[in-house]
Amino acid sequence: MAGASQVGQFPSEVALDYTRIPYRLFFDPTIEALEQQRLFQGPVWNYVGLEAELKRPGDFKTTTVGRVPMVVTRTEAGDFRLLVNRCAHRGAMVCNEPRGHRAMLVCPYHQWSYDLAGRLRGVPFRGGAGGRGGYPADFSLADHGLQSARIDSYRGVLFGSFSDAAPPLTAYLGQQACAELDRVFARPLRILGYSRQEIRGNWKLYAENTRDPYHASLLHLFHATFTNHRITAEGGNDTAPFAGHIHSVKGDDAAEAAAYEAQVGARGYRLADPSLMAGRPEFGRRVLSILTVFPNLVVQQIGNTLATRQIVPLAVDRFELLVTYFGYEDDDAELASIRLKQANLIGPAGYISLEDGYAVELVQQAIQGECGAASVIEMGGRATESQDTLATENGLRAFWRTYGRVMGWDGPGAANGSGGATGAD
């Protein structure tokens, strides 16, 4: 087939410098299957939750790594374990609740019982019934624990990996992402709640969206007007291999705001109740910071709203977005109420976020059946390095560079014989 390439190779349509991404990557089920194996179960760290969600030994929460159901537990010793949520017996889901508290994890199907570290502790009728049946004499509980994955945390943010080849977590995150997490997770957290959305699009469209400061002030008028997230604002985009992207915005420049309105068109948009945006400075002049960690985490500080967003792929054309809102244990009453009010900004009904689900779906709907076309990612040039502007799509190019490497593609161009270059840094 003309233009087709093996799934093990970079699709020939991908540009050498990641400025062209074929739409096929967003709806091809063979790509999706390969992502489960090479990417989500590959040498990456997947966000799986926050330590603050599991305060006591025996607490657990269910989550996923890619599409694999997982359970995070806190053991009697206080440490965290990440287990595949699938009975070692016949494959039933063991923990079938979003979260809970258990001394033992018991599979509902045949009551195989595991401890919080995933070790099999008992199976009913192991010796049979009335002297007949039962397991063979050499059946060993030790051979049939829940499959486990690596788990590590940085500043109370929990990450898991199926791969021994994943670098140590701090190296994976890189200095800048660690510094950002140091800022946002500086004090003990209080979980404030969750929101969930199911979006009919490929998860990578959202990964692109969160690395894209170009759209923010154009798609999200509310953002441009009230959070100073204008393309002309003082801000920057930092890229690193896995902690793919940090973009931040500093506010309070009236001349810049006027210049923006002149280009985009002022609409005389004012709030009847300005208390929504009457926040309290917590992070200096920084009004907004979005950190993305490859593949599935976004950490946001928008005004006084703090949250993690977990991208949960459900199918090639569907994902769930799970937002975990938090504040700090030492928040005073006023700050606590500011956070609840500003929660209006984000989530499925968020003034500055609800459009993102729509934008993802607009792309997914329009690319169906597409055989050769590709997106154009040239804002800010064709490189992937950090830039001190918001008028750029460098974060998207950096995402695709990492994606290509993790997928085991030797580099764009390899499939069509143009050189197998890997030097896209």
Partner 1 sequence: MEAAAQRAQIEQFLAEYAAAIDEDRLEQWPEFFTERCLYQIIPYENFSQGLPVALMFADSRAMLRDRVTAHRKANVFAPQRYRHLIGPLRVIGEEEEGAIVVRANYAVYRTMLDAANYGRSELFSVGVYHDRLIREQGRLLLREKVVVVETARIATLLVTPL
Q: Which residues bind partner 1 (CB under 8 A)?
A: 98, 191-200, 219-222, 225, 267, 269, 271-273, 275-276, 320, 325, 336, 340-341, 343-344, 347-349, 351, 354-355, 357-358, 361, 365
CB of 319 to partner 1, least distance (A): 11
Decide whether 225 or 296 has the Cβ nearer to partner 1: 225
Let me know: does 20 contact 375? Beta carbons within 8 Å: yes
CB of 321 to partner 1, least distance (A): 9
Let me know: does 107 contact 89? Beta carbons within 8 Å: yes
Decide whether 339 or 401 has the Cβ nearer to partner 1: 339
Q: Residue 55 carries which DSSP code? A: -
Decide whether 172 or 325 has the Cβ nearer to partner 1: 325
Decide whether 217 or 387 has the Cβ nearer to partner 1: 217
State the Cα–Cα distance between residues 186 and 18, nearest whole angstrom: 36
Question: What is the edge-to-edge ordering of all strands in the sheet holding 120-122?
Answer: 105-106, 113-114, 120-122
CB of 416 to partner 1, least distance (A): 33
Let me know: does 319 contact 298? Beta carbons within 8 Å: no
Decide whether 22 or 347 has the Cβ nearer to partner 1: 347
Let me know: does 212 contact 195? Beta carbons within 8 Å: no
CA-to-CA dists, residue 335 to 195, 220, 227, angstroms: 20, 25, 18
Tokens, residue 6: 């093996």
CB of 262 to partner 1, least distance (A): 19
CB of 197 to partner 1, least distance (A): 5
In this structure, is the dihedral angle defined by the CA atoms of residues 386, 388, 300 and 212, taken in order, positive or negative? negative
DSSP alpha helix (H) spans, 47-187: 169-184
Decide whether 357 or 411 has the Cβ nearer to partner 1: 357
Helix 203-210 to helix 354-366 angle, to the nearest 10 degrees? 130
State the Cα–Cα distance between residues 105 and 120, nearest whole angstrom: 9
CB of 309 to partner 1, least distance (A): 14
Decide whether 37 or 365 has the Cβ nearer to partner 1: 365
CB of 362 to partner 1, least distance (A): 8
Distance of CA 266 to the CA centre of its chain: 34
CB of 69 to partner 1, least distance (A): 16
**Direct distance between the N- and C-terminal alpha carbons of the chain, in angstroms, rounded to an integer:** 32
State the Cα–Cα distance between residues 417 and 425, nearest whole angstrom: 20
Decide whether 110 or 267 has the Cβ nearer to partner 1: 267
